[in-house]
Amino acid sequence: MKFQYILLIVFTLLLFPNNAQAQEKKEENKFSVKVSGHIWAESIYDTRQTVNARENDVILYPAKEVLDANGEDINAQSSFNMLNIHSRARIKITAPDFLNAKVSGLIEGDFVGTGNDKIGLFRLRHAMLKLNWEKSELLAGNYWHPMFTTDVYPQVVSWGGAIPYFTLSRNAQLRYSYSPSSNSKLSIAASTQIDFKSNGPNGASSEYQRNAAIPEFNATYIIGLKSIFLIGANIGYKTLKPQLSFTSGGLTYKSEETIGSYHYSIFSKIKMNKAALRLGTIYGQNMYNFVMLGGYGVSGVNSNGEQEYTNLSIGSFWFDLDSGLLGKKTSLGIYAGYTKNYGADKTITGPVYARGTDIDYSYRIAPRIIYGAGKVKFRGEVSFDTAAYGTPDADYKVQNTNSVSNVRFVIATTLHF
C-alpha cells in the first residue's frame, strides 16, 4: 500500500508540471504578431498653385488669385512632384485574454512627418489596444477620431481623406462601444489632440484643449452593420481655453474665458452587388482641428476686460460611388464633395483663428480608376477643385466672390505586404 501511495505522489508531481507547461504553451499560442503595410509611390501634377500640406501632397483647395503689376495671376502656375512618404508599416498584435476579453493591438506609422519641416521622418499614426467582450469593446490609444468611422469613408486615391469636405483626425482617446445586436453599435469616446490641433493665439497647438482641462466628448450610433443599408450619426463637443492670462489697464490677470463648440455628422452606405455608395453630411463649429474650414475669433471684451470668443460654422456634403471590381482587376469610382462657410455666431471684433475665412464655398469632383487585384496595384485619379474667394463681412460671411479652379492628376503605384 505504501508503494502505491508513493507511485501516486510521483505521478501527481509529474502530471501537474506538464499541465502547467501545456497551459503556458496554450497561452503563448494566443499571442501573435502580424506585420503588414505598403510601399506607395505617386506622381502629382496640378494646373495651378494650391493650399496644401506636405510639399503639395495633401491638397485642400486652389490658391486664390494674386495679381502682379501686369494684372497676371501669380498662382496660375502649374506644379509637379513625386513622393513616397505614404509608404506604411503596420503591426497587428493578438494577446491572451484579459478580464474575459479578447485582446488585440495595433501600431502603425508612415513617413509623412508631423509637419512640412519633418517630412520623410517616421510618424506614429495609430497605437492602440482593444478589449473585446461578447457585446462590448474598450479601445485605448491613438486611433481615428470617432467622426472618422471606418465603416463609411471616401475611397479616394489622393491622400488626405478627402479634406476639407470630410474630416481627417487621429486622436488619443478612450472609447467604449456596446452592440445591442450584431447589426448595431453605440460608442462613447473621450479624446484629446496630438497631431491634429486647434488654432489660437500661439498658432496651432494642443495647449488650448489641454488648458481647458476637459477632453472632447463624442457619441456615435450605427445601425445596419451587416445589411446592405447602413446609417449612422455622430455628435461631439469640445472646449478650448485660448489663453491663460490677459492684460487690462496695464495689469495682468488670470484668464477665465473658454470657448465650446459642437459638431455632428450623418453618414450612410448602400451596397449594390459589387458596388457601394457612401455619403455623408457634416455640420460644425470651430472645425479647424479636423482640417476643414472654420475656427473661431474674438467677439468682444467682457466686464473684466478679457476677450470673449465666438465660433465660425461650416457645413459639408460628400458622396463616393465605388463600382467594385469590373472583371478581375479593374474598379472605377467617383468622389464629390462640397463645403460652405456659414460665418460666425456673433460679430467678430478682434483676431480670427480659422482656416479659409475668405472662402464662401468650395467643391471637388474626382473620378478614379484602380487596376490590380493582388499585391501590386496601379491607381489613377483626376480631381477638379473650385474655391469661391471673396471678402468676409463683420460676421465673416463671405461676399463678392470670385471662383478659381485647379485640376490635379495623380498616378500611384502600390505594393502591399
> Per-residue pLDDT tens for 60-108?
999 999 999 999 999 999 999 999 999 999 999 999 999 999 999 999 9
- Grid coordinates belonging to 72: 497676371
pLDDT digit string (tens) for 269-319?
A: 999 988 999 999 999 999 999 999 999 999 999 988 999 999 999 999 999
| pLDDT value at residue 35 | 96
Superfamily of domain 30-416: Porin (2.40.160.10)
Give 255-281 pLDDT, tens digit per residue: 999 999 999 999 999 999 889 999 999
Q: What is the chain's mean pLDDT, rounded?
A: 93
Rounded percentage of the chain residues whose pLDDT exceeds 90: 86
Mean pLDDT within 183-199: 97
Domain ranges of the chain: 30-416
Is pLDDT above 70 for 236? yes
pLDDT at 8 over 70: no
- Give residue 26's pLDDT band: very low, low, confident or very high (50, 70, 90): low
pTM over 0.85: yes
Is the predicted pLDDT of residue 40 greater than 90, yes or no?
yes
Tens-digit pLDDT profile for residues 192-219:
999 999 999 999 999 999 999 999 999 9
Instruction: Give the pLDDT confidence score for residue 90 in this predicted structure.
Output: 97
